Structures are given as structure tokens and as C-alpha cells.
Structure 1
Amino acid sequence: MKASLQLKLGQSLTMTPQLQQAIRLLQLSTLDLQQEIQQALESNPMLETSEDEDQAADASESPDNTLDKASADDSDANTASSAETDTPADWDENENGPDWSSETDSPDNIPDDLPVDTAWEDIYQSAPSTAARNDDENDHDFETRNSPTETLRDHLEWQLNLTPMSERDQAIAHALLDAVNNNGYLTSPLEEIHSGMVEETDEDQLEFDEVEAVLHRLQHFDPPGVFARDLQECLLIQLNQLPPETPWLAQARLVITHYINLLGNRDYAQLLRRSRLKEDQLREVLALITALNPRPGDTIDQAEPDYVIPDVIVRKHKDRWRVELNPDIAPRIRVNASYASLIKRADSSADNTYLRDQLQEAKWFIKSLQSRNETLLKVATRIVEHQQGFLDHGEEAMKPLILSDIAQAVEMHESTISRVTTQKYMHTPRGIFELKYFFSSHVSTDEGGECSSTAIRAMIKKLISTETPKKPLSDSKIAAMLGDQGIKVARRTVAKYREAMHIPPSNERKRLV
């Protein structure tokens, strides 16, 4: 082979750093965007937060002091923009709020010191001032509000420490506590726990009855039903802790002890015959049993709430749906005109070059934020235009919608629409929904039209909610009822949608009324 040089022309698509930054900001969620803006403010001296008063002052300044005033004018990347569905290009300006700057006159005839018997601080503990509460360094309630929630294990250990026990029983109790899951059930057999303790402590004198006795003591802990080995024992523990005069307590124990399998299968005919209870009596017994908690650990071991901040707000104004960005999702930023004025055009020193580079990065960042807001608002407006039936009438009026429909409407790529609708939320009069919620597949109808899968799920849920509890609707019956409405849905599709909504099958929905 002979080495040679060849000249070849070609075209390739490369992503500039500005485009990469715009794409990265576009797919960030609200919380991630706030962190990204905060990091940019800390690292770039050319960026600063702007308030409404500062913006008014900047507008009154002369063009000389605003260094490429276009960058300062377009720097307010998070200004709340709005659009109405039928005229997306019609932006409404935010109205100024009421002026609260006026001060009220205070009476002058009240003396400074009034005679009192005792001082307020002698009786009541003074609360921190407003300034102290707003200051992060003086926030006394920070640890309380931001501390992790108590777990079930912490709750049980706290009770164990208050229970008088010998060292031997304490060791057994901790071994049992290690075998409790988040639902409050004992996951390991008692024989296995006993043999494990014998091997670890080399104590052949540890009897199985001792482990069982400690278990019975722990089963009196809060919440009722913890340390149970199965569902039957869990329910019996809770029944045993009820007052003896509780109505139908003995009958409930009878059903749980001997006929729990019939109760689980909802075989009420066999249950009535074997328990020798009448239908109205069994109804009272079932009401007492259903009041028990089959997962007692859930009452203590609760996950921290996941708060959602909507990116877009939709409201109806003068019979027209109005779409606007949430102005509180991120701080408003702009270019610092004071630092920008220090840049000299003909100066090539290191300091001047650093300021010039930071200024360029600040402009790119602000422009990327503006592009993100405009794209988000444009996509949300098109979604509202397409799903006005949902906003007016509910889920049953949801129309089929896919990413390519919105991509063609806003003249963007589907990947861009996917980034915009991921982890972005819309606040509507019907609740807060992720933008992806409004996209769904379609099912054909007898009239040649299309019906959204979201609308079909809403119809299935409505049919199940109105069914007869004694004779619930099967998946085949639901499919036939939807077919009568002109919607072609197979039984497997109904089962899939029902399971997606966490609705049990018909045999588990059967009730004794």
C-alpha cells in the first residue's frame, strides 16, 4: 500500500456550544433549572438577578449605559409570557399589582411605656423576629422542617427502649426487629431467628419459647398489628386490642380464624353457610374487618411528599383558554450593566478578555433561557388548543394526540417536543398534569373516527364505579358495553387499561351489600 494525500469535500452537522446549552436547558425540570441558574449566577459575574423596580430603572436609562442594551432588554429570560389558545401570537402583558407602599398614620397619644405587673418574657418565650426567620443563619426551625421523616424501625426502637427487659430479651427483641419489613410483618420464620441467635451467641440454653414470648410482647407495640407473621395473625392482633364490648368482635375473630380463605376469595355464599351468620350480620362483621389495616407499617413509614411546581398555568379568561408561563419557577436574570461597562474594545489584556468571555457566555445563557421559555409556551399552547375538550368536559373528551402532531404544528423535531414535555407540568382547573399526560394513542370507532386511550380509561373507570357490587362487570362485559357506544376495544385491551388504573378484576371487586 502506498501512502498518498487526497482532498475530499464533505458536509457534516456539528452542534455548537450554544446549541448544546439550549438543548440541555430545554430538557431540565423546574428544580434542575433553578439549580442551573443559581450555578450560573455564582460562576459568572456578568449575570445578576433583576426585579421589577430594577427593570423600570433600566428602561429609563440612556442607551450609553446599557452595553448592548439589547442584551439587557432580552436578559429577563423568565418574564411571565401568556398566550390565548385561538391566537397564540397574542401576548398579554402582566398587570401591575396594587401599591402597598403607602403607610398608615399611627396615633401619637399612646405613651411609650405602660405600667405592667410582669414582663411578657417572664411568662412566654419570645418567637424569633421576621428578619431572623427569613435569615438562613438564624432560622431556628430549619432542622425541624428539613429533618427526615420517622421510619417504622425508628418508631419501634423508641418503644423498645422504653420497655423494661433483660439483656437476653433485649437481644432477642433486636433480632426480631431486624426481621421486620416496612409493612410491619416478620419476614423470617421464628425457628430461623432462634437458630441464628443460638449460632451467634453459642448459648444452647436459649429456648424457642423465650423467643416466642418476646415476640408476643413486641406484638403489643404501636401501630397495632406489627410483628405479625402473616395477614391472619396481623388482623387477629388488631382485633385482640379492641375493647371487649366492641360489637361483632367475636364473630370477626371467628371469620378471620377459620374462614379467611373464603373471605379472600369473596365466596360469601359459603361464608354465610359455614359461619351460620345472616346476611345483615355478616355485613356488620365485614365492616369491622375492613376497618383494620392489613399493612400497619404504612401508617408510620411514609415517604416524603414530592412537590410539583407547574411550569405552565392554564386558566379561562372571557370564555377563552389562556396559557402563560409560571413567573415563579426561576429567578429573573440579566446582564450586569456596571461590569459590562468596564469592557474596553481595543484592550486585549487578560482581565478585559476574561470580562468579554463572561459577557458572551451570559448572553448565550440568557438567550438559551428565552428560547426554552418560548418553546415551552408554544408547545403548551398547541396542546391546549388540541385538548380544549378535556379542559371543558373532562377525561372522556380527551382527543388522541402524538408527538408528531405537535411537532408539525410548531415546526420542530419530535425529539425537541419530547424534551419539552418531559418533567414539565401544566396547572389547569382540573389539576396539575405532566405535559406527556395529554399525549395518548387512539382506538378506531364504528363511525370511522378515533377515540383516545385516556378517554377509554375514563369510560372504563366510570362504568366500574356505577356497577352493582354484588355482580361486578367483567372485562368482556365492559368491552361489549364500549362496543355499544361505537368503540372497538378487545377484552385484553380493557384488562390492560384496568390494570394500569390499579383496578382489581371482577372477582375481587365483589361486595356483599
Structure 2
Amino acid sequence: MGWRRPCVLGRLFPTGGRGCHATGLFGGKPAYASAGVVSAAAFGALRPRRGAPGRGAGRIPGRAPVRLGRGGRVNIDQRPDLSLQQHLHLTTELKQGIAILRMSALELSEFARKCVEENPFFDDDDWVEPRHPLTPDRYVPDVSADALFEKRGHGSPETFDAERSDMSQRSFSFDRYLAEGDTLDEFLLDQLRMQVDSPRAKDIGEYLIGNIDGSGYLRTSVDQVAVALGAPEREVARVLELVQQFEPTGVGARNLAECLELQLRRSGKLTPTLERLVKSHLAEFETRTPASIARDMGLSLAELNEALDVIRTCNPRPASQFGSPSRPIWPEVVVESCGNGEYEVSLQDFYLPHLKINPTYRAMASNVKERDAETYLKEKLKEAESLIDGINFRHATLHKIACCIVEMQVEFFEKGYDCLRPLTMVQVAEATGVSESTVSRIASGNYMQTPRGVFELRFFFHSSAYRAADRVVSSISVKHRISELVEKEDPSNPLSDQALSEALAREGVSVSRRTVNKYREELGIPARAARRRS
């Protein structure tokens, strides 16, 4: 068959005969769903294969539907095309509800007080002072998982010299936050909001910050976060790198070596020798003498000691200046023993006002005739109802999650740390019928008062499990036992990681030396050489 080179505009928009006409544009008649005849070559179409000329159908990106007709010509059909797409948009009410879930009791109290003052739909006398006077002697020390096992401060002579730490890198905002007594989470979240615009990156960053403990260490892994959020590991790793650049320097590290490296790099002190020492030889001080390590590194003993002096200017607990023991917390969940292994879980809401809608203003919102006033009153009414619904949902969810934790950890409340079971947020989410992200938001910053003390809810979540003689114990139980063994050791002959591993094995808990080393670093306990005293 023969092919012609047509005039494209003439074929697409003819001024007479049959074809597509656009009123007023090319002087033709109104456009109907008629067919214009255009050569396939006008669109750069491929020649039909020999033996099958003109057969098949094609579709041209960005143009009307196209069919190959007889003689290799193209038939253009014009017709309306409808498509249904789903987009996720967070309403203002949903955003506020998520924010309320993340609030601690103290934060929620301040937020509710502000809303009562600004919204006319709440009565002025709705705010009542707490039924229990919040005097300092009623405050409970801020207890986190690491603080429970902390026996040695990093400021002691045999560990690290925090007083000699280079504070010149601290920003004015860091000092301001410390002076105002803000929490580590608040400080990190403020930095995240300033540096991240992507909603997805913010979600990942908030999840990571929610898993940073009171010492400043990240207590989860990149792959676990990726699975929990359904995000690529590479994206999670990028956000973690950003968080690790926040103040205080060293925050977000996953172990002691990474924490020291972050601080040395930020201060400009990280030399190749220090980097090699921190990454490859830090754990060797457990079992080897400084002289042998210096020999392997090709250093003199004096050069090694100089390197160690630089390392000792770092802070092994970068977040230690946040959340001091004097900072008050309000344990919202109260667990009381009823005997026979049964416990009652209740919520304390003395810190909140008795919120209710003013009936006069509600009626006014329905009857007002002025458009601006009607819009204002309806918005304020919606805000008031949204706040009440958000607080009620938070209370119900918190109570449900707390009951689930108590039920799953009842042996801990009966017998102590040795019986603390491995528990994940996924397990609690499945048992309570809420999402894992909701469990994570509730568990962070909310505290539980129990017969064994006051704990943050996320203290009860840990996935590592070790089988003892007659039970399964958690990583928290193992850490607690390591801390006890170190506390009772002979200062002149401290226990090595291998000795700690063997001591645990004699008690029926099989933990490798490498795992003991990891837990010791997470607890902030120095290496054997640093603990030795003459």
C-alpha cells in the first residue's frame, strides 16, 4: 500500500467536509463526536507489518483515542472520559485527634486549658483545679527503661568527663530548651519540623524520635521501622541520618561507638586514628590491655592514651541533660492489686476540666442569621465537639492499651523484672484492635503507676527474647541482671563481657558475649578497663 505525507493541521482541523470542527477557533461548525480522517504517518505511527496492513489498534499519549482504520488511516474519536481516583486528605479534626493521642497528661492539660480560654462554647467555670494538689512531694521521678538500670553516672572519674566536653557546638536554642525544661522529644520534634517539609519524612522522623530513649539512643533498627511504616529502608536511613545531625550531638545513635563517632565528627576531632579506635577496637578494652591494642594499631602507649583522653571528652549519654529527675510527670494510668493475681486499671483525669458545651451558645449557633457570626459560631462549635471527641477517644484507647499491657505482663507485676515478657506493639495492636501507630503514639510520654513503681508505657515493649530454665525472659530482664552483676563486682577485678555471659549462663539464660557487650553499652556501663580501680 502507498503512503502520503499529509498536512497535519489540514487533516486535524479541516474547514470543510467531514471531520472535527471547533466553533470559533477554525471557523467550522460545533464539534460533534464525528470522526476525522488522518493519515497514520501524521502522528508518527509505525508502518503496518507486511501481510497485516491496517490491522490492530493504537493509543497516542496525550491525544484522543485512536483506531487504525482501513487503508492505514486513523480514526479519531472524541468522547468524555470519566475516572474515579482516591486521595487521602487529613481533616483538621483528624490532625487534632492524632496530636491529642501523642500528648502526655501534662501536655493535654495545657492544651485543653488553652482551648477552654479561647472557645466561647466552653463555660468559664469548666476549668477546675486538680482535685489533688500537685505539690512537689506528689511528683514521681521520671523513670525510663535505662534510668531503672543506671547505676553509674558518666561524670564519674573512671568513665567519661562530661565537664570537659566541648560545649562550643551547642546552639543558643539548645541552651534555651534546657533552661525552659522542655523534653527531649519536644526539642527533637521542633528541629524536625524546621528541616523537613515532606509529610512522609515527617512521619518517619516522628516514629524514630518516639523510639529514642532518655539517654539519646535509638532503640529500634532501620529495618524494623521500615516494616512498621511500610517505607523503604533507604528512605528510613536517610531520615535517621538527618535526626543524627540534631542537637544534642550524638542523639539517635544505635550504639556507643556510633554515638562517639557522631560527637567527634561534629566537633572536628575525628582523626583516622580515633575513627579506627572507636569503630574497631572499643570493645577490645574488655579483654585486652591498652599496650596490646596500641601495638596492633601501630601506636605508642602515650599516643593511645592521648586518643582515649579525646574520647573521654564525649558524652556517652547525649540526652542526659534533658528530663532531669526533678521534672514532674503525671502518671495517668493507675494499676492497683486486688489480690489473687488480679489488677484493676483506672485512669486519673484530675488534671482535665469537665468539658461540656454551653447550651446557650449551641442554640445561638442554630438561630443566628448574620452570615459571618453564623460561620464563626459553627466553627467554634465544631472545634469544641472535636476536642471532646478527641479526648474521649484518647482516654478509651489509653485504657484499652493499658489493660492489655497489664494482662500480658501480669507476672512482672507479681514477681519483678526477671519475669518481664517480650512484648511488641504489633501484639498489643492486634489484641486491642487499633493500629500499631496508635499504640506507638499512646505509649510515648504516658506513664503508669504500679505497685512496682512508675513506668513509661513504652518500657513494656521489647522484642528480644531469651529462654531461661523454665521461662522466656526479655532483653530488659537481661539488662537488669547485667546491671546487678556489675554493681556487685569487685572494683579491682571487674567482670568482662565474657564473664558476664558465663554468669548469665549459670543462671540458665544463654546470652552471647557480643550481646552482653551491646547491652552494656546501651546501659551506659563503661568497659572493663575503664571500671577497674586500684
TM-score by length of 2: 0.46
Does 1 or 2 have the higher relative contact order (CA < 8 Å, sep 6+)? 1
TM-score by length of 1: 0.48
